[in-house]
Amino acid sequence: MTRILGHNYIAGQRSAQGNTLLTSLDATTGEPLPGVFSQATEAEVAAAATAAAAAFPAYRNLPADQRAAFLEAIADELDGLGDDFIATVCRETALPSGRIQGERARTSGQMRLFAKVLRRGDFYGARIDRALPERQPLPRPDLRQYRIGVGPVAVFGASNFPLAFSTAGGDTASALAAGCPVVFKAHSGHMATAEAVADAILRAASRSGMPAGVFNMIYGAGVGEWLVKHPAIQAVGFTGSLKGGNALSRMAAERAQPIPVFAEMSSINPVILLPEALQARGESLARELAASVTLGCGQFCTNPGLIIGVRSAAFSDFIALFTAQMAEQPAQTMLNQGTLASYRQGLVHLHSHPGVTHLAGAAQGDRQAQPQLFQADVSLLLGGDPLLQEEVFGPATLLIEVADLAQLAAAVGALRGQLTATLIGEAAELAGYGWLSELLQEKVGRVLLNGYPTGVEVCDAMVHGGPYPATSDARGTSVGTLAIDRFLRPVCFQNYPDELLPAALQDGNPLGISRLLDGEQSRAVIVR
């Protein structure tokens, strides 16, 4: 990596007007890492938002294949970052190099996937209803609709994914694909990583001939409010805590012009163990679930934080096996001291609750997180106790035993919105639980059968979202190509001459895309 400058990124230039200097820390030792970062001033935040607004008209009107080439150039630059970059990310996050290499591949891969979306053209959502001048009792005008970017997007970096949900992560990729310039707020936990990735994005922008201001980045705590409230910003992408997401949503709603906030926030991702599966493979399920709960020190938004089973000898045996497995899981270093402090606080709440029993887990050390297992009476969930549905971000989970299927249905009905829910069952018994799948669809964005939720594939069909408080808007996803929809809005043209229409709506269909033409999908050329 080149020397860290630590200045904010505004319209392709670097700026350091403020007096507050920040340092990045080694996640394992807590020692300061080389380089200091300049916290953005209110004027710099405004300048970044204004630069994005100035870039918007030119950027959104670029041909889709030119924006696609930009995304592919970013992917190439990310793939070209060397071993010293990987080492820096590892030091800032305590994540292993294999995880970071895999996450980088996912990050560049989703850039290339959105480039593919741009080239196939379905994101335009082109619809054409041709004029019917002879229609009675009233003629129909010529009406044509397509979608454009909403405008500059503020993106907040996530703590737990320093690449895939950060500087060049899914929110940035989908916003840029939609034709929206980005102002990125770097996460304080991995500022050196953010700088290296921002440099890669700017190199790609220069190579691709993008307008200045297509990507901007600011550092600092407390600067997010200035960004969200700036009138140039038209949408927000956020991955983080429920408290943080709710605060941003309030700020956005209180603006003179309210804007949408797409916040991925809090989920306990219930796993439901069906009776025959427990009878057939309780030992392997205990081992696999312990591995899923502690994977990456439990620092995944899809971490299974609630495990439900129906009272039986098999479930009792599973509890004993699972308790033993969790007791054997080693301590791990978390992303940063703030994350560790939050994890410890969540454990304090569980330990002090009279209706919760601690089953496994050693006392917490000074710098590492010890995996923990608890059990609670189902009456707490049915009674609406909020503690059982508060995400404990880390390697901990909670067991609940229900008396019968009626109580299982009631327990699922009491759940708040989730990113995922998982059903573990044998093939012969799953057919009898269609009712449970129906209930879960009302609660979550993704329902899994016989798998574990901690892997999120980046593809067209993926949904990484769900009803509140999993997200602030259940109609979208922050992973997968549907994420582009969050940053697009429809525009209709009435009785426009062909030469003034955007290419996606012109009679000759110069883009060769599929369009809804008079109610039928078609790639046809229109002959007037």
Q: What positions carry a catalytic annotation?
A: 264, 301
Burial state string for 160-197 with b = 16 or more CB within 10 A and e = fewer than 16: bbbbbbbbbbbbbbbbbbbbbbbbbbbbbbbbbbbbbb
Closest C-alpha to 48, from 250, 224, 204, 300: 224
Sheet of strand 261-264: strand arrangement: 13-15, 8-10, 215-218, 182-185, 153-156, 235-239, 261-264
Q: In one letter, which amino acid is 24?
A: S
Beta partners for residue 8, in sequence order: 15
Two tokens at 309?
């089973």
What amino acid occupies position 25? L
How many CB atoms sit inside 10 A of residue 139's CB?
10
The pair of structure tokens assigned to 88 is 């820096």
Give, in degrees to the nearest 5, the angle at Cα 477 between 236 and 259. 25
Angle separating helix axes 191-208 and 64-79, nearest 10 degrees: 140
- 348, burial (CB in 10 Å: exposed 0-12, middle 13-18, buried 19+): exposed
The Cα 393–Cα 299 span in angstroms is 6
Give phi and psi for 367, each to the nearest 5.
-125, -5
Q: 180, 235 in Cβ contact below 8 A?
A: yes
| Euclidean distance between the first and the last CA atom of the chain, given in angstroms as a whole number | 59
* Side chain identity at residue 65, one-letter code: D
SS3 content of the chain, % helix, strand, coil (to 5): 40, 20, 40
Q: What is the SS3 string spanning 63-83?
A: CHHHHHHHHHHHHHHHHCCCH
Number of H helices, E strands in the chain: 15, 23
Rounded CA gap, 15 and 11, in Å? 10
Dihedral pair phi/psi, residue 306, rounded to 5° = -145, 125
Q: How many other CB atoms sit within 10 Å of the CB of residue 53?
A: 19
Q: Which of 56, 12, 250 is nearest to 153 (CA)?
A: 56
Find out whether 85 and 195 touch, Cβ atoms under 8 Å.
no
**What is the bridge-based pairing of β-strands 261-264 and 270-273?**
unpaired
Cβ neighbors of 313 (< 8 A, separation 6 or more) are none
Tokens of 377: 């009476």
Is residue 341 within a helix (H) or strand (E), and if so which, with residue range? helix 337-352
Given a contact cutoff of 8 angstroms between Cβ atoms, the answer to whether 188 and 22 are in contact is yes
